Amino acid sequence: MRVVFMGSPEFAVPCLRALAGAHDVALVVSQPDKPAGRGGQLTPPAVKAAADELALPTLQPKSARTGQLETALRESGAELAVVVAYGKILPKAVLEAVPRGCINVHGSLLPKYRGAAPVQWAVIDGDAETGVSIMQLDEGMDTGPVYLERRVAIYPDETSGELLARLAPIGAEAMLEAIAAIAAGSAHAMLQDHARATHARMLTKADGAIDFAQPASVVAARIRGVDPWPGAQAVLRGHPVKLFRAQARAGEGTQRDAGTVLAIDADGMHVAAHGGVVVIREIQAPGSKRMAAQQFAAGRKLAVGDILTAPKAEAST
Contact indicator for 45, 10 with CB cutoff of 8 Å: no
Q: How confident is the model at residue 315 (pLDDT cuts 50, 70, 90)?
A: very low
Q: 290 in helix, strand or coil? A: coil
Q: Where are the domains of the chain?
A: 2-196, 205-309
Instruction: Using DSSP bridges, classify how beta strands 24-29 and 2-7 pair: parallel, antiparallel or unpaired.
Output: parallel
Residue 313 above 90 pLDDT?
no
Digit-coded pLDDT (tens) for 201-253: 999 999 999 999 999 999 999 999 999 999 999 999 999 999 999 999 976 65
Q: How confident is the model at residue 314 (pLDDT cuts 50, 70, 90)?
A: low
> What separation in angstroms does the CA of 179 have from each of 76, 144, 270?
18, 16, 49
Whole-model pTM: value is 0.94
CA torsion sign for 20, 25, 29, 33 is positive
Contact indicator for 159, 123 with CB cutoff of 8 Å: yes
The whole-number average pLDDT for the span 131-139 is: 97
The whole-number average pLDDT for the span 178-182 is: 98
Contact indicator for 208, 199 with CB cutoff of 8 Å: no
What CATH number belongs to 2-196? 3.40.50.170
Residue 170 above 90 pLDDT?
yes
In the chain, how many H helices and how many E strands?
Answer: 8, 16
144 CB-side CA count, 13 A: 23
In this structure, which topology does domain 205-309 adopt according to CATH? Methionyl-tRNA Fmet Formyltransferase; Chain A, domain 2 (3.10.25)
The whole-number average pLDDT for the span 41-45 is: 93
* pLDDT at 254 (0 to 100): 63
Q: What is the CA radius of gyration of the chain?
A: 22
The whole-number average pLDDT for the span 35-45 is: 87
CA torsion sign for 173, 106, 15, 130 is negative
Digit-coded pLDDT (tens) for 210-220: 999 999 999 99
